Structure 1
Amino acid sequence: MTDSAFRALQVDKTGQGVSLGIREMTVEELPEGELLVKVAYSGVNFKDGLASMPESKTVRSYPMVLGIDLSGTVVSSADPRYKEGDEILVTGYALGTGHFGGYSELARVPADWAVPVPEGLTPKDVMALGTAGFTAALSIQRLEDNGLRPGQGPVLVTGATGGVGTAAVSMLAGLGYEVAASTGKSSEHAYLRGLGASEVLPREALAAEDGKPLRREQWSAAVDPVGGASLPYVLGTVRYGGSVALSGLTGGGAFPATVYPFILRGVNLLGIDSVYCPEGLRRKLWERLAGDLKPRSLGDMIQREITLEEVPAALGDILAGRMRGRVVVRL
């Protein structure tokens, strides 16, 4: 490997579908951007898994270096806000979908996408959080903006063993909220209680096969990265004036709904988009992630640390629902 060459995990279209593999690249092949970054860590997200699929609608152009998160050190900067040696992180925007991403030893990114690694967190810490942790933080911020406070009753977290779910359980518990965690994995109840959940529900408990639009009020709010068929049950069990922060579709992109939770109980359905979150709010949330939102068990959220060669298998695991917490990629 030459001084200007580096390794990256790239997906490309072929006549048979897509190919996914590590290839050697040069700096000249990187897209435009003010910051050249030596990548230290990335993470494995559900969106990364979707981007690796043959029928993916996530990737905008091919070939593409995957990885929607990265952290690392600035090698060179054409922007006065950053200098060589600065530690930065990038999540969201077009990273790993329309702009070469974090599964790469070097990356070039727009300076407007970068956030300084906040004091109190390391480059590995911020990727233990990554898009999943940032999405959980944004969900909690939006719920609090709509009136949620500790002591109002339990907050439900669906998909609680996933990246967003584990982060949300730990953050909410650390803030003093009573947390009810839902999971389809019976073997993970002790793990969720260790993160701070006071109650663990099986996924089946959120089924609403009889189609009732309203049920007994249970939750002061909900963090829902699942969507799909369980969302009507969640909406129908949130207390009067409560909110549901919806950020994902691991349970499917469509759901049956009625107007009743909204017009009879004043329930709010809050859409959570972490990809294009405005810069000011983005920086505020990363400061909170280094402060009051920092999970007490941040290290425990990392299921394992893997190399670039192990990423394809990990993408298969996350798509199949075999992953708990966060998998961090060490570049």
Structure 2
Amino acid sequence: MAFKALQVTRTEHGFAPELVSLEDSDLMDGEVTVAVDYSTVNYKDALALSGKAPVVQVFPLIGGIDLAGSVVESNNPQFKAGDPVLVNGWALSQTHHGGYAQRARVKAEWLVHRPAAFDARQAMAIGTAGYTAMLSVLALEHNGVKPGDGEILVTGANGGVGSVAIAVLGKLGYRVVASTGRLEEAAHLKSLGAAEVIDRQALGEAGKPVQKERWTGAIDSVGSHTLANVLAQTRYRGTVAACGLAQGSDLPTTVLPFILRNVTLAGIDSVNAPQPVREEAWRRLATDLDPSLLESMTTQVGLADVPRVVDDLFAGRVRGRVVVDVNA
């Protein structure tokens, strides 16, 4: 069967994403074939399509680290034709064809049965970014951070991780402070559940390794000086979940927040998380994320628009989540 896809190739001039027509015979090995309805554009997708980081390791390769659709064929008894499913991460857009296509063939152990609370579009409005946000919330809970304990900081608040994190934390009853470089979006962030919005500038500059205590917990998708300052401002026995590197992969800090204030830095990996952890995250999203908030943080594009969205994302012009209708 012929289908369209956004494929990444490498040329002497760099990376080149292009729309192509492929056949089922072009798909890679896997037990389950999926008719894809939607994918997303995440920061990792932008890195992959632009070549700014060595995400794609096999060429040519269909991009897209997320997909949602329904099973067409399955050689695994856990999945049957018609089952609504989704995939986040694993090898998609790295060594295996991803979600920027109308068809996908993947390993059965990568699939998650889509929660009934979400349709395919809503599942991708959440996508890896929202699933990562939920993993971060679970990390805070695991370390005993409870509503009422104090303020929770969310950095990169206008991004996909930040938007969903605010919505989930707000519904759970936490007092959320959103850090952003776009203060004109304050009303939107408060509508998601933020109690306060602050300018990211001070957090993004070099600071002292130990500062005045404020945050009981934090979810950081920025890294670099921002993460260092968040750690320096975290209260005794607080927890910071680190899940991104929008500012940089460096961490210019010292051991002082950890040995003087017993701060926990919890690393969040969404790509290779064990299946039970993924299923728990999606189960919690189905109960702890208000689906009505998804629409306000989501825009929709077609496959041909993805390269433009990548440029907008790097320029800081993307708010919330971008859903890709692969059939548009």
TM-score (norm 2): 0.97
- Give how far 1:54 is off: 3.5
Matches within 5 A, 1:60-209: 60-209=57-206
Determine the structure 2 residue equivalent to 1:15.
Answer: 12
- Are 1:275 and 2:271 an aligned pair? yes
Q: Which amino acid aligns with 1:319?
A: F
2: CA distance, partners of 1:297 / 1:181: 16
Deviating above 4 A after TM superposition, structure 1's stretches of 4 or more consecutive aligned residues are: none
2: CA distance, partners of 1:45 / 1:68: 8
Determine the structure 2 residue equivalent to 1:214.
Answer: 210
Secondary structure in 2 matching 1:20: strand
Correspondent of 1:265 among 243, 251, 261: 261
Correspondent of 1:48 among 45, 50, 68: 45
Determine the structure 1 residue equivalent to 2:319.
Answer: 324
- Give how far 1:17 is off: 1.5
Distance 1:202 1:295, change over 3 A: farther
What does the per-residue CA deviation read over 1:276-313, in whole Å, with 9 as the maximum and x for residues that have no partner?
111111111111111124455122121x1111111111
8 Å contact from structure 2 (residues 39, 124) kept in 1: yes
Q: Which amino acid aligns with 1:35?
A: V
* Structure 1 unaligned spans of 5+: none
RMSD: 1.1
Secondary structure in 2 matching 1:298: helix
Distance 1:301 1:244, change over 3 A: same
1: CA distance, partners of 2:255 / 2:264: 11
Secondary structure in 2 matching 1:256: coil
1: CA distance, partners of 2:133 / 2:296: 16
Determine the structure 1 residue equivalent to 2:236.
Answer: 240
- Give how far 1:73 is off: 0.7
Determine the structure 2 residue equivalent to 1:252.
Answer: 248
Determine the structure 1 residue equivalent to 2:301.
Answer: 306
Secondary structure in 2 matching 1:189: helix
TM-score (norm 1): 0.96
Secondary structure in 1 matching 2:29: coil
Secondary structure in 2 matching 1:204: coil
Distance 1:230 1:56, change over 3 A: closer
Q: Aligned residues: percent identity?
A: 48
- Give how far 1:205 is off: 2.9
8 Å contact from structure 1 (residues 288, 294) kept in 2: no
Secondary structure in 2 matching 1:102: coil
Q: Which amino acid aligns with 2:111?
A: A
Correspondent of 1:231 among 224, 227, 233: 227
8 Å contact from structure 2 (residues 55, 93) kept in 1: no
2: CA distance, partners of 1:296 / 1:75: 29
8 Å contact from structure 2 (residues 62, 99) kept in 1: yes
What does the per-residue CA deviation read over 1:117-148, in whole Å, with 9 as the maximum and x for residues that have no partner?
11211111110000000000000001100011
Secondary structure in 2 matching 1:215: coil
- Give how far 1:320 is off: 2.0
8 Å contact from structure 2 (residues 183, 198) kept in 1: no
Deviates more, 1:163-172 or 1:318-327: 318-327
8 Å contact from structure 1 (residues 157, 179) kept in 2: yes
2: CA distance, partners of 1:295 / 1:245: 24
Q: Which amino acid aligns with 1:330?
A: D
